[in-house]
Structure 1
Amino acid sequence: MGEEILDEAYRRLHRTGPEYEGWLSNHGPMAVEALVRHGHGRAVHRWLDAYLGRLDELPRGLRPVEDWREALGDPKRAGDWLAHFDRELRERPWREVLGTWWPRLLPGIAAGATHGVIRVGHAVRALREARESPERLAELGQALGYWAARWQPVPGADPSTGAGRAATPTGAPGDGDPRVASALAGLPRIADRSGGIRDRLGRLPALPDWPAALAALPPASTPAGAGWDLAALVHGASLDYLRFGHAEPVMLVHAVTAPTAVLRTLPALDPALWAPSVAAAWSATAAVTAMYAPVRPAAPPAVAAGDPAEVFARAARHGDAHVVKLADAVLEAHAASGDDRVLAAAGYAGQLI
């Protein structure tokens, strides 16, 4: 039943564009995938009834994408990109399309305030964990198209580089990876907090410590190590939300959900792409933290305890897409680490947003 509900939801959403009100991201496809995955499919259509009214129509194309490098990062070509990936996914297996485009899109991980990669991560999970369907393939195409249209690099980041560590830490990410903790703790902060994410990204190169911050988490040189690093990064970012989320409750969600999206995509990728994926995920979390987190943390919040199912149920009742998506991410972090503290991040977001 859940699979049918998700496909129905995708059909409703695919009449709408990837953004609304100029540049705000359409969170519908991501939120409904999370709701269905965690057993709340019966709430999906009611949630959509309230959400769809704010969305714009599907953008029209201008001309076919012929020189993809020229069209990359041009939001005026959003309709062209959506049509391009719709055609590619009709003609080739989805894993082949993803494998071709992931390394092309990865350097632009800041696209749409990281919503490009986040939407792709939800779409890939829907395809990996259940049957393929025309609706799920179409959703991957729309996610990739949105990422391509809004493609935007993190200044100074280069996901193609990174001779990494040879060793993989032992234990679980929840044990606390000192490398990740040190890298997160050492992130600088921009002083000028005016404007949106595109304005703030342009201020990162002026930070004297920014190059060192990007290099503070070198990727592992093995696929197993890369997966471990990403799980540890999601874990550390989830705990950081409890310390800094009060300052920018919505935007700091993406410091958690962006690396989570990369982590859940790894199994569908060639292992040779895992290390650069870690580097890109780290650059996204580092950038969001540097742009939106305050210098000083807040006192630990008081959040009602609950098991994973109850934590997500509360988020579903809350209804905000960012709260739902953060709950979805921290449940994965909890499954990987066993650390109950990360679950509190979802409840804290529910209090703040």
Structure 2
Amino acid sequence: MSDTTGTLDEALERLHTTGPERNGWLTNHAPMAVEALARHGQAPAVHRWLDRYAHKLEELPPPSRPVTADNWREALGDPVRITDWTRFFGRELDGHPWREVLSAWWPRLLPGIAGGATHPVIRTGHAVRTLLTSGEETAPRRAELAHALGYWAARHQPLPALTPLAAAPSAAAALDAVPPVPDQDGGIRARLVQLTGFPVWGGAPDPETARARLVELVTAATHRYATHGHGEPIMLVHAATAPNAVLRALPALPRELWAPSLAAAWTAAAAVTAAYTPAEAAALAPTSLTLTPEEVFERAAAHGDDHTIKFTDTALDVGDPLALAAAVRSVELNPPVF
């Protein structure tokens, strides 16, 4: 559903005075969380949620030097240029239709999909969904796309060269076959540099097949959290939310970009899985299979954790009982905010 109260636009305007990160690396999840809250009938709670999140927000970093059509390549992947990139995309979106801007920059940004622990592409997916479904292209929603794309460009970081491993017959089997990184200590950047290869999966001969396989990937990664989320409850949500962000963007993109989008989404999901997958699966509690989607999202909203809210939003997109059970598992595993 779409927020018709104006609350989301108000929240985005609040947030656009703040930067996409804090403490030099940690992501500002508020724009994504408030979009999910507003979409799932929790608009009255948005400003209260933001008030409680406010201590995690920092001001926009100072600009360095403008990004232009001539110098953007040298600025790609430079986090010091976050504000420069955001202003660049603001100018682009002022002068061109947002779908045109997205389509031009999507293939340039896809190779760095894992940068920023996949948060930039996830923020982009939320921004695109709002523009696609809101029925009204408001200034705050266009500005949110500029912030999301600017964050992605500034944190753009390709993965190391990867060796193709044995082919897998399904997305679920491919995720199960992803080899874990050898050293499971340290943050995600220390883990991603250890990647050497992924199973071959997801090649698509046509756009519709690519879309179907992307749906399969989101479903498999969401289901897998129900039994593997304990490996790292916060970080493993991104194995599902990153490819789902790509899926949400597909309707706004030319069909020739759908197959490369699937390939990038598989890389992102596999990278997060390799970085944090546990050695053993956990049993699934059958009682978690009996809740309605509305009840599950209400639990996530009351819990208040931003990752839990976003993962539950993805689980509701999948919509089946195992996906809802995975969402309940995220409520159980992640520390509550409220």
TM-score, structure 2 length as denominator? 0.93
- Corresponding residue number in structure 2 for 1:264: 248
The match for 2:294 among 309, 313, 318 is 309
Say what the alpha-carbon RMSD is for the aligned residues: 1.5
How many residue pairs get matched?
A: 324
Q: Supply the distance in 1 between the matched residues of 2:222 and 2:286 (Cα, whole angstroms).
A: 16
Q: CA deviation at 1:299?
A: 2.0
The match for 1:199 among 152, 168, 190 is 190
Q: Which amino acid aligns with 1:323?
A: T
TM-score, structure 1 length as denominator? 0.89
2:264 matches 1:274: no
- Corresponding residue number in structure 1 for 2:152: 147
- Corresponding residue number in structure 2 for 1:161: none
Unaligned 5+ residue runs, structure 2?
Answer: none
Q: CA deviation at 1:329?
A: 0.2
Q: Supply the distance in 1 between the matched residues of 2:210 and 2:19 (Cα, whole angstroms).
A: 34
Q: Supply the distance in 2 between the matched residues of 1:318 and 1:148 (Cα, whole angstroms).
A: 32
Q: What are the superposed Cα offsets for residues 133-179 of structure 1, whole Å, 9 maximum, x if unpaired?
A: 00000000000000000001122369xxxxxxxxxxxxxxxxxx952
Deviates more, 1:283-292 or 1:192-201: 192-201
Q: Supply the distance in 2 between the matched residues of 1:302 and 1:192 (Cα, whole angstroms).
A: 34
- Corresponding residue number in structure 2 for 1:19: 21
- Corresponding residue number in structure 1 for 2:325: 344
Q: CA deviation at 1:49?
A: 0.6
Q: CA deviation at 1:100?
A: 0.6
| Helix, strand or coil at the partner of 1:112 | helix
Q: CA separation of 1:81/1:155 partners in 2, compared to 1, >3 Å: closer, same or farther? A: same
Deviates more, 1:289-298 or 1:257-266: 289-298
Is the Cα contact below 8 Å between 1:157 and 1:280 reproduced in 2? no
Q: CA deviation at 1:302?
A: 5.2
Q: What are the superposed Cα offsets for residues 26-84 of structure 1, whole Å, 9 maximum, x if unpaired?
A: 10000000001111100000000111222110112111113111111100111111111
Q: CA deviation at 1:220?
A: 1.2
Q: Supply the distance in 1 between the matched residues of 2:73 and 2:287 (Cα, whole angstroms).
A: 47
- Corresponding residue number in structure 2 for 1:183: 174
Is the Cα contact below 8 Å between 2:169 and 2:201 reproduced in 1? no
Q: Supply the distance in 1 between the matched residues of 2:162 and 2:21 (Cα, whole angstroms).
A: 26
Is the Cα contact below 8 Å between 2:202 and 2:266 reproduced in 1? no
Is the Cα contact below 8 Å between 2:127 and 2:144 reproduced in 1? yes
Q: Supply the distance in 1 between the matched residues of 2:162 and 2:90 (Cα, whole angstroms).
A: 30
Q: Supply the distance in 2 between the matched residues of 1:155 and 1:247 (Cα, whole angstroms).
A: 23
The match for 2:75 among 71, 78, 83 is 71
| Percent identity of equivalent pairs | 56
